[in-house]
Structure 1
Amino acid sequence: KSFMLTGDMPLPLLGNKLAAGVVAQRESIGLYRNITAGLQCGYKITTGRSSSVTLAVQAGIIDNEFRWSERELPESDAASDEAGDIPIEDQRHSAVDLSLGAFYNSRHFWAGVSVTHLNRSQVTLDVDGDGDNAVAFNAGRKFYLMVGGNIPIKNTLFEIQPSMLLRADRDRVTGQLTARVRYNRFLWAGVAWRHDDAVALLLGAEFSNIFIGYSYDRVVADVSRRGRGSHEVWGGYKVKLDFGPRNRYGHKSIRIM
């Protein structure tokens, strides 16, 4: 299971060119749990009437945990563990994590590059406390490239939004292609394809300051072809922030002007 929370907002500094963000993600499988969390800061550089480049840094932590206390052993194995070799206490450790990124945005085109786990964080879980059975989890650097566009269809309320994402590490390069169609900046639908992995159906809606979405992934790789796929739901809410002088006109209501 995976859970992710993100948020961002402008800061009233340096002519509103600074922004802050937060990201937190939790993944769990069996007795293993991984949490990554970070704070972000970005600086926006205007490059044209409708284009800009944002440079950003993220600093946070990686927290790994193995919950031995929740394990279930057959009675025969538990009875034979006279020396206490099977751990009974949870193991947990954290490490500092750093990431960098840059993003270009214009009316009809956008692109971004980033690198995560810049400092190659290592989290070590020591099972028995003497280092003999320690297990190390290495967060290797990952490089990302994403590009996309917004193509309006003349004399209609439809827009085509293609995009591509590439991810690379020391061992392999993977990619995803996505094609979305949006109607009246309200409803959108699309399909996505991940190299040697899966295909996905995407649906979503945007109204007022709320956006919601749903995707269904169907794995096409041989190793998981018998699976039923996975579902993902996400949502968000935009809040208007006013950092200017409040109540600048000196009244609260037309009745008590």
Structure 2
Amino acid sequence: MFAGLDLQAQVDAQFSQYWALPSYYNAGSVGAKEKLNILAATRQQWVGMPGAPKTFLVGADMPLRFLKQNHGVGLLLSNETIGLFSNMSIGAQYAFKVKLWGGNLGLGLQIGLLDQRFDGTKVSIPTSDEHVSTEDGIPQTELQGMAFDMGFGAYYTHKYFYAGLSALHLTKPSITFDEKYETYIGRSYYFIAGGNIPFKNTLLELQPSMMLKTTFNITQVELTARLKYKKFLWAGLSYRWKDAMVVMIGAEIKNVVFGYSYDYSLSPIVKATSGSHEVFVGYSMKIDFSDKNKNKHKSIRIL
């Protein structure tokens, strides 16, 4: 008897502080702030479990005005290792900005490459009469493949709220290894929204947010509430449906922002891990290319 099974690889990393990393999910968010933004994040998921996911992300974006029109541009690099697999993604992002209903709408496109590797040299096959030491279906060499990838997103920002809808892996990348093995990456869809609710006569702000992600086979929802004090310190809680509870803290000092979150698993996987840790840090710098800010020098001969 023979059976065929279509497997889809999941390359989108899990981030509990998704609200701080909008460009990872939605290219329409690049250039949403009038500053050059540089951001790095790392996540150690399911600490204590062998081969658990480890993720690193770095990105930058900035607004750009060209031909009397607002735009946004950005770059994004992410890498995640899961067991013997590693997934690296690099993408260039562009967003077209238009003013709408008192806010700004960004329509963004991301194009890039996916690089996937499998370290077959670390495959462990038990030695016994019931096991074959070599099996063509189990690669035992280092494999590597690449594919073109594309994503699209719409991201709307207002004074008191934001919302974005995006689709990643529109090209359904298929990566071939050594002409024998192949992985297929299906499309994934994201909806992100959040707001800022100031309390009257206090220095506190409530910042609720949510993210829904789906492949139409698997759907996951996250709900978050952060309380911010004096636009400086924050703390919050998040619930990932049937998966984890998250606590987070952070601060914003001048042009630097950083945050930390801890996930406590609510599924049976809690028996094998002490939880997940995540850290991000960002730096923003105001940019202005207008003529009035260009340095002007006078010749000492005509002083």
- TM-score range normalised by the length of the shorter chain: 0.7 to 0.9
- What's the TM-score once normalised by structure 2's chain length? 0.74
Partner residue of 1:120?
Answer: 172
Cα distance in 2, alignment partners of residues 103 and 235 from structure 1: 22
Where 2:249 maps in the other structure, the secondary structure is: strand
Residue by residue over 1:165-209, the C-alpha shift from the partner in whole angstroms, topping out at 9 and shown as x without a partner, is 111113122100000001111111100000111010010100110
Q: Please state if 1:4 is matched with 2:50.
A: no
Unaligned runs of at least 5 residues, structure 2: 1-53
* Percent of pairs with identical residues: 37
Partner residue of 1:229?
Answer: 275
Q: Which amino acid aligns with 2:78?
A: Q
Partner residue of 2:70?
Answer: 17
Q: Please state if 1:159 is matched with 2:205.
A: yes
Partner residue of 1:183?
Answer: 229
Give the aligned length.
244
Cα distance in 1, alignment partners of residues 135 and 249 from structure 2: 55
Relative contact order (C-alpha < 8 Å, sep 6+): which is higher?
Answer: 2
Equivalent position to 2:96, from 27, 33, 43: 43
Deviation at 1:15, TM superposition (A): 3.0
Q: Which amino acid aligns with 2:98?
A: I
Unaligned runs of at least 5 residues, structure 1: 252-256
Deviation at 1:72, TM superposition (A): 5.7
CA contact (8 A) 1:219 1:225 kept: no
Residue by residue over 1:74-121, the C-alpha shift from the partner in whole angstroms, topping out at 9 and shown as x without a partner, is 7889xx858999755311000000000001111111110000001111
Q: Which amino acid aligns with 1:13?
A: F
Q: Which has the larger radius of gyration?
A: 1
Runs of 4+ in 1 over 6 A off after TM superposition: 73-77, 82-86
- What's the TM-score once normalised by structure 1's chain length? 0.86
Distance 1:230 1:241, change over 3 A: same
Distance 1:88 1:205, change over 3 A: same
Query: Aligned Cα RMSD in Å?
Result: 2.5
Cα distance in 1, alignment partners of residues 134 and 201 from structure 2: 78
Q: Which amino acid aligns with 2:57?
A: M
Distance 1:187 1:85, change over 3 A: closer
CA contact (8 A) 1:212 1:234 kept: yes
